[in-house]
Amino acid sequence: MPTVDTHDAEEQQPSGLSQQKDLERPSADDIYEQVATSARQELARSSFSLALSGFGAGAFMGLSALGTAIALVLMGASEHARIISRMFYPIGFIVVIIGRSQLFTENTLYPVALVLSEKRQFWNTMRLWAVVLPTNVLGAFGFAMLASHTTAIDPAFVSTMSTLGAKALAHPATTVFWSGVIGGWMIALAAWLVSASHSVTGSVMLIWILTYVVGLGDFAHCIASSCEIFVTILTHSAPWTAFPEWFFPAVGGNIVGGVCLVTILEYGQTIYGGEATKQDK
């Protein structure tokens, strides 16, 4: 019968304990450090790299519109169909966030949280926003061109995406803004929670749950909804002037939601909570 080397067993035990420790629930400080690390990595990228990533993210977000439209067409028009179809809305967000592409609303969390503790990163953050937002829009436009000006996608799916875009455009600017606040809040919250996740599976579930609510509530997202709205415009169901009238309130709301309701609150919890802990010792 083979003998067990007790020395080897003792060496293996700390490694196992270390892995188990890594599975403990992270503190707010741990999450913030992960967020700050991700922000530094993204801010270190060249503008060209950010632009390519931003364009890809905008195009990938079209998968949310496409998945929702396909489900609606196949299931027919009903409340149950609407609820189930929104289960496909998170597809674009999962692809973008897990794939680490540059999505503007996600970047209302990472670099802003870093700027609050490292003020020197402010202009670098502005550079990132100035590159990522326009390229996200170009990517969304590229997807809409593919959908509406080629035969790649079934016309029934294109028509449904156009209808979804028209529905988004029907809201007044104030409604779009406040809807965008909630949308931006939930996307930035998803990014914060993903930083606390220990696995890809856990990250996917977190993204899916939160973005499903965004889709189900029809909350404005400046990039995902742009894919639908561009299809609406390119199929001549809305004028070009309708896009900026919707887009700028949506962007403003997403920024307020992401920055104020998540970044500042979570940063405050981390910084002031840490100071309170030090005083208690």
Give the Cβ contact number of residue 210 at 10 Å. 20
261/209 Cα distance (integer angstroms):
19
Evaluate whether 103 touches 131 at the Cβ level (below 8 Å): no
Tokens of 11: 């060496």
- Please, what are the domains in the chain? 26-272 (1.20.1080.10)
Q: Which residue pairs, CB below 8 angstroms and at least 24 apart, start in 34-38?
A: 34/195, 34/196, 35/109, 35/110, 35/113, 35/114, 35/191, 35/192, 35/195, 36/113, 36/114, 36/117, 38/110, 38/195
Side-chain-facing half-sphere of 101: CA atoms under 13 Å: 22
DSSP 157: H
pLDDT tens string for the chain (281 positions)? 444 444 444 444 444 434 334 557 787 778 888 888 888 988 999 999 999 999 999 999 999 999 999 999 999 877 788 899 999 999 999 999 999 899 998 887 888 888 888 889 999 999 999 999 999 999 999 999 999 999 999 999 999 999 999 999 999 999 999 999 999 999 988 988 898 887 899 899 999 999 999 999 999 999 999 999 999 999 999 999 999 999 999 999 999 998 887 777 777 777 665 544 444 44
Q: Hey, what long-range contacts does 129-132 have (CB within 8 A, 24 or more apart)?
A: 129/104, 131/47, 131/50, 131/51, 131/54, 132/50, 132/51, 132/53, 132/54, 132/57, 132/102, 132/103, 132/104, 132/107
